[in-house]
Amino acid sequence: MDINVMVADERHTKYSQQIVDEIYISSQERGTGIAKRTPEYISSKMLSGKAVIALTDEGEFAGFSYIESWGGKSFVANSGLIVAHKFRGMGIARKIKEQTFILSRKLFPDAKIFSITTGAAVMKMNYEFGFRPVPFSELTDDPEFWKGCQGCRHFDILESHNYKMCICTGLLYDPKEHLEIHHPDENVQENGK
């Protein structure tokens, strides 16, 4: 079965309710908190070119993720990564994460990219992309971002710790920490000889 992963657009807004339902069911199954999203919010991400969707060749929904900028576009969150139940275990989450990461770097090349999660699989993928665990104090201090956590069942923990810690792990990719290494020209001999 072929799965196509692409930047979502207006053609994909019809999947918004299914995406919201899948995110909610998944959070209930894991017993973890997750920020609640509405179909309208998911659709807005698609319409603004800030979402990635995975579909089968037949048009069946397989997975989704989106990005959001914060703190004057100096931070970008990779959020809402979900794979439909019947497509799990096929490597789709990694493909979605990769395309979401590429989209984040394209739209916001100088921004720090972050994610907060309780999921071990998401943490592992983030590490592979160069993210590192950080305290919440290294993430955006934009109050609008943290308002998104209000729908989480663990929001009281976050609030009681003054938005500095919760049960989620904060992960950060800072493009300034990933400098390109320039290799010397192979034609130049050592010591200038």
pLDDT digits (tens, 9 = 90+) for 137-178: 999 888 888 887 877 778 899 899 998 888 889 999 999 887
Residue 66 lies in a domain: yes
- 183 vs 22: CA distance, rounded Å: 46
CATH of residue 67's domain is 3.40.630.30
| Predicted local distance difference test score (pLDDT) of residue 48 | 96
Residue 189 lies in a domain: no
- 70 vs 51: CA distance, rounded Å: 16
pTM greater than 0.85: no
Give per-residue pLDDT as tens, 85-141.
Answer: 999 999 999 999 999 999 999 999 999 999 888 888 889 999 998 999 999 999 988
Q: What total number of domains does the chain contain?
A: 1
Closest of 63, 74, 66, 84 to residue 148, by C-alpha: 66
